[in-house]
Structure 1
Amino acid sequence: MIEPSTHTTRRTLSDEELIRLFLTSRDNAHFERLYKRYVVKVHQKCLTLIKDPVLAQDLTQEVFYKLHQKLDTFRQSARFSTWLYSITYNMCMDQVRISGRNIINLHGDMTEFEDASEDLMLDEGELSIDMLRSALTKLKLDERAMLYMKYLDNKSIRDIAQIFEINESAVKMRLMRCREKLRKKYFQSLHFN
């Protein structure tokens, strides 16, 4: 089971300070602090995307192994948490492509999507969560992922652009197309049931 650290210090070092200390000293204690800071979040993201506890655990460890190997490529222009999210997301997507599994299953009551129903143009009558789930499954993996990041993870346009390695204008355009496609699929599901 992955557990967060309960160890605290007098002054909490920023992610960037820990990275710099690790890269200059190669002292794994600094990397371990990053690991303890983010392991639960990475595991939860893997579990949300993959829906398999054992595989999510394995992917979490692979994410941190890859992070350890590539930490020197971190660009200070991006936030570390966004960069780590990108690594996590890409590793999960790679797993999906290899296995052909259907992921990005939205859990819970999806209140974030309910709150976004006006932006998604789903405000015609009462929102049907089952129909929304059905409509989402009919979208391509990357389309679902982009909507998921925007509306469930509350990622900014800038963060999504960094994760997908495209510019912000392209993210806005893709989100607009994803919303329109979701809207069409939603109303098709709604009217044919």
Structure 2
Amino acid sequence: MEDIDIIRAYRERRHATCFQILYDRYSTKVYSKAVTMLRKQSEAEDATQEIFTKIFLNLGKFQGQSKFSTWVYSITYNLCIDKIRREKKVRDLFNTEMEDPPDTVEEVPDEALLNLQLNELKYVLSKLTDTERMMLLMKYKDGVKIKAIASLLDKSESAVKMQLKRIKEKAKRIHEHRFASTPS
């Protein structure tokens, strides 16, 4: 059954089995995203429960204007960001400033990020802000479209594209600074 069919069945019968099917389909993905964002298993477990409580309470309001998975992702992302804000892990989530921005920089191709070694990638991601890291992971790991990212962050698509461009440039600078070949 498709998600929308399960949601319709839930609305008609309010049967817990319908919600259990959705929970089984999405709980691992929600938990995984929560661990990635919150960085602690215990916090991710709590967040997963909160997220599914929100989904359960608002399932009747889901209109199907987007895919159910996008709606779940949005709830997950927003709840985790709220938790991060409350814990003051991020100073300024949406107004990220670059350190020493270059005057002119070439566009960094997506392949440059995708070809990094795993340990190098982990290092580069650890040096980015939470927002920068989340935007890169949404775009390149989760495959979230620019339009959806813009909607989640309440920004224009062009602003998201520009911010991603700057984040890729920053990631490239971090990588080059840390892993540049030293002459023998």
Asked if Structure 1 and Structure 2 have the same fold, meaning a TM-score greater than 0.5 normalized by the shorter chain, the answer is: yes
Distance in 2 of aligned mates of 1:140 and 1:187:
18
Aligned residues: 165
**Normalising by the residue count of structure 2, what TM-score does the alignment of the two structures yield?**
0.74
Q: 1:173 to 1:118 in 2, by over 3 A?
A: closer
Aligned pairs for 1:180-191 (under 5 A) are 180-190=169-179
Aligned pairs for 1:1-193 (under 5 A) are 13-101=1-89, 118-119=109-110, 121=112, 127=116, 129-190=118-179
Distance in 2 of aligned mates of 1:120 and 1:174:
18
Q: Is the 8 A contact 1:136 1:144 kept in 2?
A: yes
Partner of 2:46: helix, strand, or coil?
A: helix
1:80 Cα deviation from its structure 2 partner = 0.8
Identity, % of aligned positions: 38
Structure 2 residue runs of 5 or longer lacking an equivalent are 91-107
Q: Identify the residue that residue 93 of structure 2 maps to in structure 1.
A: none
Q: Deviations over 1:88-107 (max 9, x none)?
A: 122122222222448xxxxx
1:130 Cα deviation from its structure 2 partner = 4.2
Q: Is the 8 A contact 1:46 1:59 kept in 2?
A: yes
Q: Is the 8 A contact 1:19 1:71 kept in 2?
A: yes
- Give the CA RMSD over aligned residues: 2.8
Q: Deviations over 1:60-119 (max 9, x none)?
A: 1110001111223324221110110111122122222222448xxxxxxxxxxxxxx842
Q: Deviations over 1:124-146 (max 9, x none)?
A: xx946545433333322211100
Structure 1 residue runs of 5 or longer lacking an equivalent are 1-12, 103-116
Q: 1:121 to 1:39 in 2, by over 3 A?
A: closer
> 165-174 or 137-146: which moved more?
165-174
Structure 1 counterpart of 2:6, one-letter code: L
Q: 1:145 to 1:122 in 2, by over 3 A?
A: closer
**Normalising by the residue count of structure 1, what TM-score does the alignment of the two structures yield?**
0.71
Q: 1:137 to 1:70 in 2, by over 3 A?
A: same
